[in-house]
Amino acid sequence: MNSTLPKQHHFINANLEPVEYDGSPITWRISAYALIIKDGKLLIGKSKFEKHYDVIGGGIELGETIEEALHREALEEGGVTIKIGKLLFAATDWFYHRKGNFHETLQLYYEAQIVRDIESPTDPDIEQARFIPLEEIGSVYPLSVSPQVDTLIKHYLRQKMVFHGIIIEESLIDNRMLNEFSIKKVRVTTEEDPTQRWHLYFVEGTNKQIEQLVNNLKPQKWYAHFWSGDRIIVVFPHKLFIFSHTSKETWKEAVEYGISIGIPQDQLTFEIEE
């Protein structure tokens, strides 16, 4: 159904540039997108007509189901076959397509898994499709999405991001918490007195799993820390801090809090292992 644009709305194009509305008909555009994550990386693609990368997806064609559109777009833009998961979120926007069309859009974002290794995208207009580390989405690789959708995507990716970390078993109220993580190796400290030794678990986990530790650390002198790229999460009893490993000034609040609960400053080094 065509309509005219209420004056308070503004169109943007795929390069996130404002486009002045010229009074031509506005049509609904329903589109579907797949957030495809593999090994801590998100599949994104770039059209030769656009400045930025975008997640895989696009407009649903007349007569297509949502699932058919997602499978087609995955092949066209990503060169992949996918298994479609749950609907994550939906958003609306005002969009100007490079072909000269003004749209009010409904955008549907789905979780998806890759079921076949990436090949060349079938759409010749796609310059590149690649998997990018989750922590680089938005910072190194801004996406061609509205601010609202950008926030929703980043929130989802934070939950899916895989962190490496170290948990000391003796710091836990209930050591069964370790079962929530993927354990990569265990190291035991070398004190002569067995009662003084610590058991260090080197683990992998998501943001959601890490947050569960906040209420499972013993009350005094303990913490656990995790890293993904330059992003650091430090968990104290009932307190959590996030900062940049390479920017020491961002450590300040976490270090001060650790000292306040009795942890020596020389233990608040937040070392990472590649």
Q: Does the predicted TM-score (pTM) go above 0.85?
A: no
Which of 92, 110, 143 marks a domain boundary?
143
- In this structure, the answer to whether residues 176 and 111 fall within a common structural domain is no
Domain that holds residue 233: 161-267
Instruction: Choose among 99, 91, 108: nearest CA to 146.
Output: 91
Q: Strands of the chain (E only): list them.
A: 11-12, 18-19, 26-38, 41-47, 54-59, 82-96, 102-114, 126-133, 162-168, 182-188, 199-206, 224-228, 231-236, 239-244
- In this structure, the answer to whether residues 84 and 33 fall within a common structural domain is yes
- In this structure, the answer to whether residues 132 and 165 fall within a common structural domain is no
- In this structure, the answer to whether residues 44 and 94 fall within a common structural domain is yes
Q: How confident is the model over 199-232, as pLDDT tens digits?
A: 999 999 988 899 999 999 998 889 999 998 888 9
- In this structure, the answer to whether residues 26 and 133 fall within a common structural domain is yes
- In this structure, the answer to whether residues 18 and 119 fall within a common structural domain is yes
- In this structure, the answer to whether residues 20 and 108 fall within a common structural domain is yes
Among all chains, which residue has been given the structure tokens 């610590």? Answer: 198
Task: Report yes or no on 6 lying in a domain.
Answer: no
Report how many domains make up the chain. 2
Q: How confident is the model over 146-192, as pLDDT tens digits?
A: 999 999 999 999 888 889 999 999 999 999 999 999 999 999 999 99
- In this structure, the answer to whether residues 120 and 225 fall within a common structural domain is no
Supply the CATH number for residue 128's domain. Answer: 3.90.79.10
